[in-house]
Structure 1
Amino acid sequence: MAVPGIDTLLLRIFLAFGIGALIGLEREQSESGGIFAGSRTFPLFALVGALVQAFFPAMLPVALAALAVPLTVAYAGKVLMRGDIGLTTLTAALLTVLLGALAVHSERGAVFAIIVGGLVTVILSAKPTIHGLVDGIDESERRASLKFILVVFVVLPLLPDRELDSLYGLNPRFVWLMVVFVTGLGFVAYVLGRILGTERGIAVTGIIGGFVSSTATTVSMAEKTAQNATLYQICAFAVVTASIVMFPRALIEVAVVNPALLPSVALPLGAMTVVGVVAAVVLYWRTTSDETVEPEEVKNPFRLRPALLFGAVFAVVLLVSESANAWFGSSGIYATAFVSGLADVDAMTLTLSQLAAEGTVSTEVATTGIVIAAIANTFVKAALAWLLGSYRLGRLVSLVLVVVVLTGLLFLVV
């Protein structure tokens, strides 16, 4: 570890103090620390970690152990006086010492100390929200989530991280990682929806539904207009919103799997997103004040059966895409992208991002294939609006999504 200059060291020590003060203020304001620790004690914890790391780095474990003794005594006193057996403040205190040490460890350590310190403060201050979210999850959702998490942590380490001839060259760990990634992306949106509550409004419903399942959102809104045709404008807004969220979702997937492909894909998908957002805003302005629709309850995506189904679809799409490219070249990729996109955009986006990263297909072919898959899935949304919803919903959604599709095709050609 390089030894920082005195000016840099002082700056990082002040940084450590600030992180400790931030956490300490939160603990005191929430009255969770109480007599245990507060706005003065937490900055001192951070300073201990910073100074020991700066001048006696080998003694950091000893310093932590030495602090753990009085912290344990103080914690026991808190339990006896208040009957509060929560470990949050004790854990935050020990973590603050480590953050103080991390702040002076290196430049990268300072950046991580800021990020982690901010996350710790957010988690501590969000206690009512987190507890409300957990209380709002019913037993079936809880069991489904636990099963999924168990499978992730048990199965993932056991999967071989290499291509297997018995699986036609598939890498089992990569396939499962993509399942976890896509499901996790949907789960983030799901948690956001639960935090915002049922009164979040149709706009956020469309966005969250787009990240979890734009198809399910489209079906739900179409069925609402079949029951009440006067809701076609606000339901069209929700369908369009859920549909265009698919494009930034695909960009996130590309950025994770193959960042080098992102600049090429960002232009057509970004243009489709912008046009879709403008159209959605126009639709929202056109809705009358008395047009309201009950926000759709999004299902917890941490469910084992859909995850396994996506894994199977992704594996098949990956194999078919490689074979189609070998047999028919780029035209085979485009045909596979269109057919796959009718059912799922994520599988094709991840597949082409991986194939481009391996050099199996060119950047241009991967970009075109991803856009084709997105266009095919967009057509599905319009078809569902026609088949399951009212005539006005189908006409309005189709008009908007056709403009979005034409924009994507235009930027592909250019």
Structure 2
Amino acid sequence: MTEPATSSLLTLSFRVFVAFAIGGLIGLEREKAESGGTFAGSRTFPLFAVIGALVYAFFPAVLPVAVGALAVPLTVAYGGKIWIEQDIGLTTLTASILTVILGALTTHSQRGAELAVVVGGAVTVLLSAKGVIHDFVDRIGEDERRATSKFILVVVVILPLLPDRELDVLAGLNPQFVWLMVVFVTGLSFAAYILSQIVGSKRGIALTGIVGGFISSTATTVSVAEQTADAPSLYPVSTFAIVSASVIMFPRALIEVAFLNPALLSQVVVPLGAMTATGALAGAVLYWRSTDENAVETELTNPFRLRTALFFGVVFAVVLLVSESANTWFGVSGVYATAFVSGLADVDAITITLSTLAAEGSISPAVATTGIVIGAIANTMVKAALVWILGTRQLGKLVTGVLGIVSAVGIAVVLTL
């Protein structure tokens, strides 16, 4: 609900100052920008924000008129900028209008002021990251752009259309929930992929393992193991990259639990946290022993692909149905068996499934925690097996030893809960 403009003078003055600060922040960035400095800068943008704040505080109905009135001189100035500089970029013009709106938000309400601060900060970061963003876009190939565009389109179009209820024809599954989980999991991977593209191909072994683990720890393991088979002397640094990618799987699972069932997080964080700490300690030792900083590199592909997303959706739906049935027919042992088998292929599916079942009360938090750890250990075993198959004997022994210790810690902690 909008607060009256007659609120205390001190509060109103503070809100106007917040608007001024937001405008100043954006203005400073624009003044330093080559394309925006001659159009509007550190003095003009604060004025835009203050105009928005004052107009909405005392004449809220006139705000559209004020924005329109400002648009006229802005358009004239923008035309002059195009004529003089031959630059037709719309960024600064758009930022100017947005700054007026952000200023108005500060006097709209407390929530509006908070939102204005958040959006103002985000806008400043976005504007200042022009070079990084353009470099990132230039590094994306046509196939990746097409894959990303298709998936985003499918998310926007399909998700709202899917029924948000359990359907008997789908054995009681909720289609919208299943697809939402697909979007969530691939979104996590895509965020890490963007980071990997921003950092570039010259990243060191530490970031190779960490980013690769968030995108796909299995793909990272396969890539590094194959490189080590061609160059066996890389096994120390390769071990670090594989262990890092495998251990990052645990914090990723914690993020999923926190998103779906925050009440379960306090239990799951104990064993997975212990496994993460053990793996990080072992990784630190491996990193200290390694000498080649950029010896290994992984080919990380865009995880936002429709076929991959559909495959995960099917896996998640099957794991969810099997877990519910196993719990009904075989009790706790059925859940654990399902967690192990599912974990061999994918940790995300069993983590999301057990978190959901625990939130619904179908299984206890203790069973969910143990099942998630079992799935994580099963997937860790797969990494070790892949290293033996694709890598070298030295790499296999070292990776198996480290991941074996990490798994043993997880089992020991779960048994004490």
- Fold agreement, TM-score > 0.5: yes
- Partners in 1 of 2:393 and 2:68 — Cα distance? 70
Does 2:274 match 1:266? no
1:257 aligns with 2:260: yes
Instruction: Tell me, in whole angstroms, the C-alpha distance in 2 between the residues paired with 1:291 and 1:31.
Output: 36
- 2:398 counterpart residue number: 396
User: Structure 1, residues 260-304: CA drift from partner, whole Å, max 9, x if none?
Assistant: 2111111111111111111101000011x3475241121011111
Return the alpha-carbon distance in structure 2 between the equivalents of residues 323 and 290 of structure 1. Answer: 50
Shift of residue 111, structure 1, vs aligned partner: 2.4
What percent identity do the matched residue pairs reach? 68
1-structure distance, mates of 2:185, 2:55: 42
Aligned partner (choices 272, 295, 298) of residue 296 of structure 1? 298
Specify which of 101, 106, 110 is matched with residue 107 of structure 1.
110
Q: Say if 1:231 and 1:291, in contact at 8 Å, map to a contact too.
A: no
* Count of residue correspondences: 413
1:158-200 per-position Cα deviation (integer Å, ceiling 9, x unaligned): 2111111111111111111111111111111111111111111
* Distance in 2 separating the partners of 1:104 and 1:233: 59
Give the match for residue 324 of structure 2: 322
Which position in structure 2 is the counterpart of 1:31? 34
Query: What residue is the counterpart of 1:353 in the other structure?
Result: 355
Letter in 2 for 1:182: V
Separation (CA, whole Å) in 2 of partners of 1:199 and 1:373: 33
Unpaired segments of 5 or more residues in structure 1? none
1:68 counterpart = 2:71: yes
More moved, 17-26 vs 67-76: 67-76
Partner of 1:339: 341
Counterpart-to-counterpart distance in 1, 2:325 and 2:382: 25
2:377 to 375, 378, 384: 375
Provide TM-score, normalisation by structure 2.
0.96
Determine the C-alpha separation between the residues in 1 that align with 2:407 and 2:184. 27
Kindly indicate whether the alpha-carbon contact (under 8 Å) linking 1:163 and 1:169 is maintained by their aligned counterparts in 2.
yes
**Are the aligned partners of 1:79 and 1:85 in contact in 2 as well (CA < 8 Å)?**
yes
CA contact (8 A) 2:55 2:104 kept: yes
Shift of 1:368: 1.3
Note the C-alpha offset of 1:385: 1.4
Work out the CA distance in 2 between the residues paired with 1:124 and 1:297. 30
For residue 48 of structure 1, report the CA deviation from its aligned partner: 1.3
For residues 307 and 292 of structure 2, what CA distance do their matches in structure 1 show? Answer: 40
**1:268-287 counterparts in 2 under 5 A?**
268-287=271-290
2:93 is the counterpart of 1:90? yes
Structure 2: distance between partners of 1:106 and 1:358: 37
> Could you tell me which residue of structure 1 aligns to residue 248 of structure 2?
245
Structure 2 CA distance, aligned partners of 1:223 and 1:355? Answer: 38
- Map residues 102-141 of structure 1 onto 2, 5 A cutoff: 102-141=105-144
Q: Equivalent of 1:186, from 176, 179, 189? A: 189
Amino acid in the other structure paired with 1:375: I
Residue of structure 2 aligned with 1:168, choices 156, 167, 171: 171
Residue identity opposite 1:178 in structure 2: M
Task: Give 1:92 deviation, angstroms.
Answer: 0.8
> Could you tell me how far apart the structure 2 residues matched to 1:2 and 1:49 are?
16
In structure 2, how many angstroms separate the alpha carbons of the residues matched to 1:77 and 1:272? 61
In structure 2, the residue corresponding to 1:230 is in which secondary structure?
helix
Q: Is 1:54–2:72 an aligned residue pair?
A: no
- Give the Cα separation in 2 of the matches to 1:121 and 1:7: 27
Residue 144 of structure 1 contacts residue 304 of structure 1 at CA under 8 Å; is this kept in 2?
yes
Which one-letter code corresponds to 1:311 in the other structure?
G
The 1:37–1:252 alpha-carbon spacing in structure 2 relative to 1, beyond 3 Å, is same
Q: Structure 1: how far apart are the matches of 2:133 and 2:206?
A: 23
| Structure-1 residue corresponding to 2:222 | 219
**TM-aligned CA deviation for residue 16 of structure 1:** 1.3
State how far apart, in whole Å, the 1-side matches of 2:293 and 2:159 are: 47
The ranges of structure 1 where at least 4 consecutive aligned residues each deviate by more than 6 angstroms after the TM superposition are: none
Closer, same or farther: CA 266–108 of 1 in aligned 2, 3 Å: farther
Q: Using a 3 Å threshold, how does the CA distance of structure 1 residues 70 and 198 change in structure 2: closer, same or farther?
A: same
How far 1:369 moved relative to its partner? Answer: 1.1
Q: Which moved more, 1:68-77 or 1:402-411?
A: 68-77
- CA distance in 1: counterparts of 2:311 and 2:26, whole angstroms: 43
Whether the 8 Å contact between 1:161 and 1:174 is mirrored in structure 2 is yes
Deviation, structure 1 residue 80: 2.3
State the partner residue of 1:405. Answer: 407
